Structure 1
Amino acid sequence: MSRITIKEKSDQRESSQQSVNQQSGFRVQRIFAPLAIVLAFSVLGYLLWVTLRNPLETGIHVVRLEILDAAKEAETRLNRAIVRAPLALDDESRELQAARERYQTVSQSLSYTQTGLAGLSPLIDRALADYRSGTGKKLELVEEHREKLRRFRLLFSAMRVGGVSLLSAPPIEAAPGLREDIKRLMFEATQYSIISSAENGAVIDQLSARVAMKASSLTDNNALAALSQLLDTIDGLRFTRDELNAQQDAIAELAVSGQLAQLRDRYESHFSTLQQEADLNRQTLAAYAAALLLAFGLIAWRLRGSFDELDQLNTELQDANVNLEGLVAERTKDLSAALEDIRMQQAQLIQSEKMASLGQMVAGVAHEINTPLGYANSNVQIVRELINGIEESVDEESKSEFDMLLGDAQYGLEQISELVMGLKNFSRVDRSSTELFALNEGIDTSLKICQNQIKDLEIVKEYGDLPDITCAPSQLNQVFLNLINNASQAMNGQGKLTIRTRQKDEEVEISIADNGCGMDEETVAHIFEPFFTTKAVGEGTGLGLSIVFRIIEDHGGRINVLSAPGQGTEFLINLPIRAPEKNSSEAVTEDSIVFSDSAV
């Protein structure tokens, strides 16, 4: 019995150890399986890249060979142009200029990044550097050669012009045989300029000596000087032609052709190596793709056994999704109710801000009401006293005085009525956005309400001829009142307030500008944010301009601020004449006004 017990315990320990090993193996598989897949596809991607890159290299290879052939052809054409350049005695050889430019362009194209040969290998770079050095020296010699050619043509032209004018001179024609020797000398010099040879040079020396000897018998100094200058020109022509010959030899001795051939050999060897690597990469890709397909086949065979487990898991997930949808619906209902509460609170907050603004005006309104009431009551008392002391016969002067006093009383009472009506229009809560409103009258109403705050200001009104617009009048009155009140506070009750209105196309524009303290850029960037204020704690809620921005936005308009420290502030408001139609849920009412992160 003890042996059986010991064996059972051993089996249990082995089973437990196997379970632990299996769990460890599963953890290792979960970690290394994604890494192995990423590594396998990375290797596959690399092999595909190096294999598919070969057609592009082949296309570039054709272009590079064409450039090498063009460089060889350009050098041959340049050498031919150098040899033929002295034959163009009358004008500069255009063939040499074109050949030089072509040679320079093609030689530079070999160093381009994409289609050139630079950076392919160190051996090619060294050969390219040698070739560029050789082409640079050759171009320098060609440029010097062109300069000597220009001098050579000038000397030839001078010899021809001087010789022709000298042959027609009477002293030369009078000298026996001198004219024929000069013609022979010019002919030999021209032949030497085209094809120089030692025999031709000896003949020129003999003719020059003979002409100089015959010239000694001339008595005309001008003819003698012209003949001497002709001989000097011929000597300079011969010297310059000899320099051109020497320079042609120096250009021919440059081993540029050999350097170009070496560069081509190294490049072709480099491309041959690339082709061998590409063949090897294609073979490796084929073998790797076959191995990868086999591995994925084994993985697919193992995954087939896991489909049942996945089906069961999907069933469980569907049940969980049903429960989750119920929870989401319940949470959505709660959030909708909370959102409705927030909207109502925000509408109440806007109305509270309006009442706060109205409360700030109460003291001034009381003063404005008391003033007309005072002189109205006084006039009424005076009228009463006059009536009590009047006799039966009243003269015309007294009647006129009665009329004047009663007129003053009536004017005062009308002012009281306008103030009360303005307060009534401002304080009421809007329920519709389809009412027609005269903006200029609304601005005047706001000015009357805050008369006490702006009584010391210089008010400039530049009203344009505006049509009635569709809006919420009370909300726009609140906008004007807030902006006028802010302007008065920015000027500390002393300054100039300018209000302009005009029509622009299908919009009306209102400008409210002050010459107060102004604002910096940072303040301007935040003034329309809720609860942002520059006033001391307890002096402002920071909601005035935020509500202004939201009201203008809900009316389909725009508001911009132009301000700088010490230069005042201007608010520009643009409102459509006919507001766009909205659904009942989107109407511009204070019940639907909400704050937005975009109100900045």
Structure 2
Amino acid sequence: MQSTPLKDSILIVDDAPNNIRVLVELLTQSGFQVAVACSGEQALERIPEAAPSLILLDILMPGMDGFETCRRLKANPETRDIPIIFMSALTDSVDKVKGLEMGGVDYLTKPIIHAEAIARINVHLSLRHAQRRLIQEEKMVALGQLIAGIAHEINTPLGAIQASISNMTGSLEYTLKQLPVVLQTLSPIQKDSFFALLNQTRQAQVRRSSREDRQLRHILQQQLTEYPFPHAARLADSLSRMGIDFLDPFLPLLKADNAAAILETAYQLSIIQNSSQNIQVAVERATHVVYALKNYVRQSASKMPVYASTIEGIETVLTLHQNQIKHGIEVETSYAPLPQILCYPEELIQVWSNLVSNAIQAMNYQGKLAIATSQQGSHVVVQIADTGQGIPPMVKDRIFEPFFTTKAMGEGTGLGLSIVKNIIDKHHGKIEVESQPGHTIFRVCLPIHPIS
């Protein structure tokens, strides 16, 4: 008999010692790890420790029978995905159908034919491993997209820092030479005007279009010509670069013989000021992204439920998806104060990431993403809405089915929303969807204190 190289663990649930002995010998010889439970109640107790890859479940047992045991296993998000093969001497097709309807994947009739049993077990274990690989691939694809976005989000502030340092270097060389000379030539009134100009420049950092810049230069040049000032065009250019649109406070400077040199020195100082501000903003941005990534990685290691912030998880996802969002998507958030909830934070981050990613793709990276939170009694509610194409009514009821997808071939495994549904079920929550062309809402409701 061919053994499985994966050393899967199989739980035998049967009340007949002879049946247990035969199955243990058969499965052990075939390379499986084996655990045994003599009743449905004992099976439910043993599963957390045994962590079986598959369950062989007898139907006719005293107390809790196989059907009730199966029902309880399928009702528990922790055990619902474990494949169950029923075993029974019953040959009535009604019993077989009932077992399959309750979630069993197959049926073995006693007395069990050894070769058939091993073949069926291997088939269902192979299917389970394939499904897990697909789920992992789905996670890796999502992680790859996040990493690409994160790399861009880190490189952007690093590029800004590099450019700002380059600008500062040139401006520092100029001002270190010129500033002492310029200050020596200024009267007390002109010095006050000079520092007022620097202060106004720091406050006037508003990005203007090329057209707006040309219009400002033209207006300044006209004003300078009216006084009149020599070299009006050159002075207007320097003032516009500093964002100055009102001349009166700076007239004492402009009347100086070396006004052009004074303005150029002020402009170079403004570059240093602006560059230092840009570096500060870029560092804060990079720090925010790194914090979000650390938050994501740290939480991914948690094995037990902990109390965590729902809003922090959503913000982590928005930060990690920023590269996909920022160019064509308007993000609107409306966060009501929420208590922390008992949860698996990394799994909920996967939920928010999947729903946000789906919304972005549904809008083809152009539209409005609206996220709102609220508390309703003992539950928190997260609503994620998009202005995408919508979900066709004929498929809306199937979107949470494993492997179902409306995407083109090769663009998805169809496991994303199925994983989302399983995670929410695990948290004893629920997910709803409303959709029409141009507007889709996913609504997730989670208990603050889940009941085990």
2:176 is aligned with 1:354: no
TM-score (norm 1): 0.40
- Distance (whole Å) between structure 1 residues aligned to residue 308 and residue 396 of structure 2: 30
Deviation at 1:361? 3.0
Kept after mapping to 1: 8 A contact 2:375/2:381: yes
**Amino acid of the residue matched to residue 447 of structure 2?**
P
- Secondary structure (helix, strand or coil) at the match of 1:421 reads helix
2:228 is aligned with 1:443: no
Structure with the larger helix share: 1
- Distance (whole Å) between structure 1 residues aligned to residue 391 and residue 413 of structure 2: 19
Kept after mapping to 1: 8 A contact 2:385/2:441: yes
- Distance (whole Å) between structure 1 residues aligned to residue 403 and residue 301 of structure 2: 24
Deviation at 1:422? 2.1
> What does residue range 58-207 of structure 1 map to in structure 2 within 5 Å?
none
2:323 is aligned with 1:452: yes
Question: What is the match of residue 432 of structure 1?
Answer: 303
Deviation at 1:552? 0.8
Identity percentage of aligned residues? 41
Deviation at 1:514? 1.3
2:351 is aligned with 1:479: yes
Question: What is the match of residue 371 of structure 2?
Answer: 499
- Distance (whole Å) between structure 1 residues aligned to residue 139 and residue 296 of structure 2: 8
Q: 1:487 to 1:380 in 2, by over 3 A?
A: same
Deviation at 1:348? 6.6
Q: 1:371 to 1:338 in 2, by over 3 A?
A: closer
Kept after mapping to 2: 8 A contact 1:502/1:508: yes
**Amino acid of the residue matched to residue 358 of structure 1?**
L
**Amino acid of the residue matched to residue 401 of structure 2?**
E
Question: What is the match of residue 245 of structure 2?
Answer: none
- Distance (whole Å) between structure 2 residues aligned to residue 425 and residue 495 of structure 1: 28
- Distance (whole Å) between structure 2 residues aligned to residue 487 and residue 478 of structure 1: 14
Question: What is the match of residue 573 of structure 1?
Answer: 444
Kept after mapping to 2: 8 A contact 1:355/1:427: no
- Distance (whole Å) between structure 2 residues aligned to residue 463 and residue 372 of structure 1: 27
Deviation at 1:524? 1.5
Q: 1:531 to 1:525 in 2, by over 3 A?
A: same
Q: Give unmatched runs, 5+ long, in structure 2.
A: 1-15, 36-51, 55-81, 83-124, 184-194, 199-265
2:23 is aligned with 1:328: yes
Question: What is the match of residue 8 of structure 1?
Answer: none
- Distance (whole Å) between structure 2 residues aligned to residue 352 and residue 531 of structure 1: 13
Greater displacement, 460-469 / 391-400: 391-400
Question: What is the match of residue 387 of structure 1?
Answer: 172
> What does residue range 517-532 of structure 1 map to in structure 2 within 5 Å?
517-532=389-404
Deviation at 1:556? 1.4
**Amino acid of the residue matched to residue 21 of structure 2?**
G
Kept after mapping to 1: 8 A contact 2:330/2:369: yes
Question: What is the match of residue 411 of structure 1?
Answer: 281
- Secondary structure (helix, strand or coil) at the match of 2:176 reads coil
Question: What is the match of residue 464 of structure 1?
Answer: 336
Q: 1:324 to 1:466 in 2, by over 3 A?
A: closer
**Amino acid of the residue matched to residue 320 of structure 2?**
I
Kept after mapping to 1: 8 A contact 2:172/2:272: no
Kept after mapping to 2: 8 A contact 1:430/1:472: no
- Secondary structure (helix, strand or coil) at the match of 1:382 reads helix
Deviation at 1:346? 6.5
Aligned residue pairs, count:
260
Q: Give unmatched runs, 5+ long, in structure 1.
A: 1-320, 582-600
- Distance (whole Å) between structure 2 residues aligned to residue 450 and residue 444 of structure 1: 10
Offset from partner CA, 1:84-110 (integer Å, 9 cap, x none): xxxxxxxxxxxxxxxxxxxxxxxxxxx
**Amino acid of the residue matched to residue 166 of structure 2?**
Q
Q: 1:362 to 1:325 in 2, by over 3 A?
A: closer
Deviation at 1:434? 3.1
Q: 1:575 to 1:388 in 2, by over 3 A?
A: same
Q: 1:338 to 1:579 in 2, by over 3 A?
A: closer
Deviation at 1:377? 1.1
**Amino acid of the residue matched to residue 420 of structure 2?**
V
Match of residue 421, structure 1, among 288, 291, 306: 291
**Amino acid of the residue matched to residue 292 of structure 2?**
G
Kept after mapping to 2: 8 A contact 1:507/1:576: yes
- Secondary structure (helix, strand or coil) at the match of 1:509 reads strand
**Amino acid of the residue matched to residue 417 of structure 2?**
L
Structure with the larger strand share: 2
- Distance (whole Å) between structure 2 residues aligned to residue 427 and residue 493 of structure 1: 26
- Distance (whole Å) between structure 2 residues aligned to residue 449 and residue 499 of structure 1: 16
Offset from partner CA, 1:28-74 (integer Å, 9 cap, x none): xxxxxxxxxxxxxxxxxxxxxxxxxxxxxxxxxxxxxxxxxxxxxxx
- Distance (whole Å) between structure 2 residues aligned to residue 505 and residue 448 of structure 1: 29
Kept after mapping to 1: 8 A contact 2:302/2:346: no
Deviation at 1:403? 4.5
- Distance (whole Å) between structure 2 residues aligned to residue 363 and residue 414 of structure 1: 20
Q: 1:346 to 1:471 in 2, by over 3 A?
A: farther
**Amino acid of the residue matched to residue 480 of structure 1?**
W
Question: What is the match of residue 363 of structure 1?
Answer: 148
TM-score (norm 2): 0.52
Offset from partner CA, 1:551-589 (integer Å, 9 cap, x none): 11111111111123x2422111001112335xxxxxxxx
Deviation at 1:350? 4.4
Deviation at 1:481? 1.1
Deviation at 1:375? 1.6
Kept after mapping to 1: 8 A contact 2:167/2:271: no
- Distance (whole Å) between structure 2 residues aligned to residue 434 and residue 328 of structure 1: 36
Q: 1:338 to 1:459 in 2, by over 3 A?
A: closer
- Distance (whole Å) between structure 1 residues aligned to residue 25 and residue 397 of structure 2: 40
Question: What is the match of residue 242 of structure 2?
Answer: none
Offset from partner CA, 1:196-254 (integer Å, 9 cap, x none): xxxxxxxxxxxxxxxxxxxxxxxxxxxxxxxxxxxxxxxxxxxxxxxxxxxxxxxxxxx
> What does residue range 573-592 of structure 1 map to in structure 2 within 5 Å?
573-581=444-452
- Distance (whole Å) between structure 1 residues aligned to residue 53 and residue 309 of structure 2: 38
Q: 1:348 to 1:541 in 2, by over 3 A?
A: closer
- Distance (whole Å) between structure 1 residues aligned to residue 362 and residue 146 of structure 2: 17
